[in-house]
Chain A
Amino acid sequence: MTVGPEKLVRRLLVLACFMPLALTVGNRTIAKQETPPQSAGAPPPITFNRDIAPILFRTCARCHRPGEAGPFSLLTYADAKSHARQIAAVTKRRFMPPWLPEPGQLKFADELRLSDNEIARIQAWVEQGTVEGNPSDLPSMPKFVEGWQLGKPDVVLKATNSYALPASGSDNYWNFVFRAPVDRTRWLKAMEIRPGDKRLVHHANVLVDRQQNGRRQEQEPGDGFGGMELTIESEVFDPDSHFLFWKPGSIPYVEPDGMALRLDKDTDLILNTHLQPSGKPETIQPTLGLYFTDKPATLHPILLQLENDRMLDIPAGDKHFVVTDEFTLPVDVDLLAIYPHAHYLGKDLQAHAKFPDGRSETLIHIPDWNLSWQAVYRYSQPVKLPKGTTISMNFAYDNSDGNIRNPNDPPQRVVAGNRAVDEMAHLWLQVLPQNSPQEKDDPRILIIEAMSRHKLRKNPEDFEAHYNLAALLMGRGEISEALAHFTQANRIKPNEATVNNAFGAALLAAGRTEESVPHLTAALNARPNYFDARYNLGNALASLGDFRGALAQFQAAVRINPEDANAEANLGSAFAETGDLKQAKLHYERALHLNPNHELARENLQQINSPH
């Protein structure tokens, strides 16, 4: 058989068979559109080149191109034609492009929303028979950067071990731990998250883990660990916060000057990924690209969290269960970005601002929440929220069997938790607190304080709020109230190493040395390699006159961290107090080697070298 006739026959076969088929399925629209009306007054047909390509290029092609998250490319007429009805269906339902918020007064940067007119145009194009149109109408293809979107990163980190994603099953959550490659504090202006195969990763979030909490959950270093939600503790008051979020098609965000992210030595970066099986076994090995800047942060945004997990107790079958929270700002802030978060029962998620003058504004409204398309939404302009503005969240949940995403079949009572079958009611806001001439305190401290007190009103047993409040009160020198909150935090979690150490340190600062010892000891029982607790216990024992005990603690401390000048100096002093001047001298010298300006070590060394 020759090629030509076969081709021709096939084409004709389709056309000839089309009519009876169209009739049998009763698809009158298609049959009618076989010959589009061409009368003088009728609008010209919708064409790919003139009407459709600009829409695809603007909203689809960033993901629907080779190597990106979209399962097929949408770059050419042939691409679009071979998915035409699917494009019509998914745009009509607004499933694609994925963009959850309703349009409102406030605009988001990089909105991926189609207008009603664009959706109508796509429907008409398909109904009219997917006309290609005049080649000269075709706009030029958008230029995409291949590989790293911001150019070659200063440092590329690759996950030590890959994660094996099974071929089937429900959604999967995996955390990768990266060691920050810095030997001193550096400033990051951007981070590009490359989650591996983009078709498998629904979204990914990086958390800055300054205390290496995450790596303790790894079975072996580099293994990573499972889990949908992460809580990262911080032992020092550290409200610097940035959203480091990846979703398909997202371009890495470059922080504006002055808002760089601090990266300290011994910090871990934890990449939390939401994965969906593809039908075949896959391996995921993400990389992070770091872009440094010499400009340290001068502006310090913080993340505010509204939540009400305690209200989350959704009866089985409840179609409309509402969770609310509201928080009144103690200072003026610029709202930069917003991140609503619920799991599979979340339905309608809203946040509003009520200004002191009585006006209200919708900050975000997601009428059909879909966890799979969760995202951080950045406002195109910072939203000014003056002191006294009340931010409220209003999240509705559907725990009926009518919610097909319901992970329980039949529906069950659901409460708050970190698992996919549990729920969450969280609203994160990235705000930049504004300095006010009337306030002497750092506005961040005022926000954290107000937020912690707000949390304690909601839940007097909120461990984190007690701890955070205690830590910031300590920082402000309000020791007695700090001790009260440390006491509460310690009562709620008696064996928590961080709290025991901070509580012990606070008691030490308050001169209640004997009381500090059991807490510092408890911290070390929970975490034997806890440098700060060793150091603090050494100091406590020394001030109680137990120099042998102190010596042992400082020795352990310098084993854990051989580069801490204070620990070396104190070890020197402990030796001196126990009569071993030779060892004392050695450790003072080490302290001075680590920090040539260490006054105490210098003075003590001089004293040893020139005894009166």
Chain B
Amino acid sequence: MSDLKDKNSFEAVIGLEVHVQLQTKSKVFSPDANKFGSEPNQHIHVISLGHPGSMPKLNKKALEYAIEMGLACHSEIGRYNFFDRKNYFYPDLPKGYQVTQDKTPICKGGYVEIGFDTNTPKKIMLHKIHMEEDAGKLMHVDGKDISAVDYNRAGVPLIEIVTDPMITSSQDAGAFLTEIRKMVRFLGISDGHMEEGSLRCDANVSIRKKGVTTLGNKVEVKNLNSIRYVQKAIEVEIERQTNLTLQGKKIISETRLFDPEKNQTYGMRMKEELNDYRYFPEPDLAPFVVDDTMLDDIRKKMAKLPRQYYDDFTQKYGLPAYDALVITEKRDFAHLFEETVAHTTCYKQVSNWLMGPIKSYLKENGTSLRKLSLTGAMLADLVNLVEKGTVSYTVACQNIFPEVIKTGKAPHDIAHDMNLVQESDSDVLMPVIKEVLAQNADKVAMYKSGKKGLLGMFMGEVMKKTNGKADPKLTNQLLVESLA
């Protein structure tokens, strides 16, 4: 019990460094393709390889993307900027230095809000976002005592998002990363795939006695290939540091790797050298200025963020927080919702369709919304057909929706073509009802003598004769009246 009490007297201080690969067509300083999954060393322009005499040239798109992220995070955008060189030797680093921004990060400060669907939203404060180039990849050749280098990734544009050391739990770290991933995907500046390395996260973890304001020795945890691993690693690292401290041992500032199989972190068994990167301004790239016109243009072009959609969906369309959160998980869903509600006012029904039949269809068929020809107008049409009673929900789901996907035709056309429109005219339904009752005189007698359960049977017969198109509500009402 006292052990537990001791443990609870500590708090964690976590800072995250998130690298995001920007999905520009070409690399950040050279014209070769920024493409994942090619054979090794296919995209290796002389600039990417740092051949003697080559010089970098800034990809404007990468700059725009970085600024978009900064605006999305409420950061201050740097107006006068230059790049710096970070010098160190490693075979995956072709020039022996990485071009990065040390002195003038493109974005300063800012924050990302998490938990905004709850009563306790939090702002995760950012220290900075800067641009830099990615390195290549070392590959260990199977069965041989050699390593090979693939430079396809060398020069791929990155932004590094650095938070303040202010995150206090693995849950918040996970929520922050989830939000960042959504943001870059909504902005369309990165695919955010952690398993492919287009989103990478290092966690700086330290602990301190509650009430203490100084920071403890921090441990940098690397090799975190999913949000779940980030959370796990933080948890085990907090546990490890707490135990060490309780045992009276010191926490060494070091870099540790996370082993997801053993669910533990381990030291990198490398010479812990004091890294001196000898930063200095990159003399091969001209300093550049971001002016008001450029910022205005970017603001105008910028895609809507998940948070903005969330606010619209809950406030403008009255969706429950849960619905709004689910629909804003993916950009295509949010887009489709917004497109659909331009044609219908049945907002909640649209949300139900998206979270219900559409989501399950995508899951069952292993496809994505983008690959379907489903437009907002079509979905609105479908919702409206049910809402007006033209077709039943079941028919809309089981008969019309698959046909819309298959043919791309408008739902109301399909309803008519396939003869699925509900019969809601009592002048048409009454003769059918009379016929059914006449043919089942014995059952009518039984009903009248108290077997009210037979109503379903009459209903079934009417449906049979109308090929299922009889409006169930109206039919029910007419039957009850006729049998009275």
A and B held together in a complex: no
Q: List chain A positions with a Cβ less than 8 A from chain B.
A: none
Q: List chain B positions with a Cβ less than 8 A from chain A.
A: none
